[in-house]
Amino acid sequence: MSLNIQYEGFQTKAVHVGEEPDFREGATGDVVVPIHLSTTFARQKVAIPTAGYEYVRTQNPTRKALEVKLASLENAKYGLAFSCGLAAETTVLLSLLNPGNHIIAFDDLYGGTKRLFDKIFIKLGFEVSYVDATDSSRVAEAIKPATKLVWIETPSNPLLKVSDIKAIANITRQHGLILAVDNTFLSPYFQKPLDLGADIVVHSSTKYIGGHSDVLGGVVMFNDDNFHERLQYHQNAIGAVISPFDSYLTLRGVKTLALRMEQHQKNALDIAHYLEQHPKVSKVIYPGLKSHPQYNLLRLQTTGYGGVLSFEIKGTIADAERFLESLKIFALAESLGGVESLIELPSVMTHASVDKEVREKIGITDTLIRMSVGVEDVKDLISDMKQAFEQIKIL
């Protein structure tokens, strides 16, 4: 039950929106929204669902609380929660596009998104063009009569390239196109693409929003009433919804999002500076470093740099594998955004589904390592890397 309180601060919203205590007669005043496990909802009148709820796939009180909370954090009118990030992406595309439509996408994308475009949607009759969206003019040049949507990640995965959201939004607005932004890497705490002109924001809530590597989910947020009608219809028709229990876990995780993002960033910056000075590292990619090519742009459109960085180790893929397998605190695992530090080799892990020729063309080499920096004591993380570097002998 809403108490009609207007919250100003991000952290206050993260804790309270969607979970205000209910003091109506018979209610218990829960300070945490209950996990509503009922799959169906009884009604007194045949044609009137009780409180608007009829079946768990269509809507659920715990899921609704999550959607309201996340929409408030992204400054969105609407939020829809899905079973995973790829389910959210699929529903966006099926709801808003038709076979024959053309999509312009960033050439550096999460491997699963690229697989979805190349292996699924192209077969369904869609066309996809990939461009380096760090240069907004390339987005404009790629527009065709059939273009309907532009899809970007910023920062991108795993090369952490940054797109000018405002500039691209101006282009899509002029041509009547939809701009979708994957905001997973920075979360609503550091970046709000809707405020910069984007039409749709997508998150893998498995990552920073959930934050504890224990819950799978995806979120789509937007302001358009027509989008809401179409997306909600397709979400229900497809059945790509997050469960009540997973909604609860995500609600719990998001309450500490601001605190976690600050610590992720602090640790990531310290590690980036350490790696920049290491003789066995040839390149460090982190938006918080002044050496990053879009450092100044990122400072204009975000309030932080996040907790993901990538670096290239000198030597061969065997050297990279030996380094990774020698780590003791970092978990050698896919995914990112959890409180624990994760590290991986994109060429054989998260981006293995991307053709080698395509990977190398955009800069995903065999020795590129992606790191999701956790919230541990940074001195322990650096000590772990030091001992792992000692295990490789690079000529």
- To the question of domain 257-389 being in CATH 3.30.70.2860, the answer is no
Say what the pLDDT of residue 93 is.
98
Higher per-residue confidence, 267 vs 6:
267
Q: How far is residue 146's CA from residue 103's CA, in Å, rounded to a whole number?
A: 9
For residue 354, pLDDT over 90 is answered with no
Higher per-residue confidence, 27 vs 139:
139
Say what the pLDDT of residue 2 is.
47
For residue 395, pLDDT over 70 is answered with no
CATH code of domain 10-254: 3.40.640.10
- DSSP symbols for 213-254: S----EEEEE--HHHHHHHHHHHHHHT-B--HHHHHHHHHHH
Helical axes 244-254 vs 61-73, angle rounded to 10°: 30
Q: Which of 57, 115, 166, 252 is catalytic?
A: 57
Contacts of 265 (CB under 8 A, 6+ apart): 190, 288, 304, 305, 306, 307
Sheet holding 368-372, edge to edge: 281-285, 308-313, 368-372, 342-344, 331-332
Q: How far is residue 155's CA from residue 284's CA, in Å, rounded to a whole number?
A: 15
Confidence grade of residue 5 (pLDDT, cut at 50, 70, 90): confident
Confidence grade of residue 4 (pLDDT, cut at 50, 70, 90): low
Q: Which of 13, 53, 64, 110 is catalytic?
A: 110
For residue 393, pLDDT over 50 is answered with yes
CB 176 within 8 A of CB 169: no
Helices in the chain by DSSP H: which ranges?
A: 10-16, 61-73, 85-96, 111-115, 136-141, 165-174, 187-190, 225-238, 244-254, 257-276, 295-301, 317-326, 356-362, 378-389
Q: What does the domain layout of the chain look like in residue ranges? A: 10-254, 257-389
Say what the pLDDT of residue 24 is.
87
**Annotation marks residue 57 as catalytic:** yes
Confidence grade of residue 1 (pLDDT, cut at 50, 70, 90): very low
What percent of the chain lies above the pLDDT cut of 90?
A: 90
Lowest mean pLDDT among 281-285, 288-292, 347-351: 347-351
Average pLDDT over the chain reads 96
Q: Which of 182, 246, 319, 384 is catalytic?
A: 182
For residue 223, pLDDT over 50 is answered with yes
Q: What is the pLDDT of residues 366-376, one digit of tens each?
A: 999 999 999 99
**Annotation marks residue 182 as catalytic:** yes
Helical axes 317-326 vs 378-389, angle rounded to 10°: 130
**Annotation marks residue 248 as catalytic:** no
Place of tokens 């009137």: 48
* Mean predicted confidence (pLDDT) in 297-307: 97
* Mean predicted confidence (pLDDT) in 91-117: 96
Confidence grade of residue 27 (pLDDT, cut at 50, 70, 90): confident
Q: Which of 148, 161, 192, 207 is catalytic?
A: 207
The listed range with the strongest mean pLDDT (7-11, 264-268, 352-356) is: 264-268
Say what the pLDDT of residue 3 is.
55
- DSSP symbols for 279-304: TTEEEEE-TTSTTSTTHHHHHHH-S-
Confidence grade of residue 149 (pLDDT, cut at 50, 70, 90): very high
* Mean predicted confidence (pLDDT) in 265-294: 97
Q: How far is residue 95's CA from residue 45's CA, in Å, rounded to a whole number?
A: 32
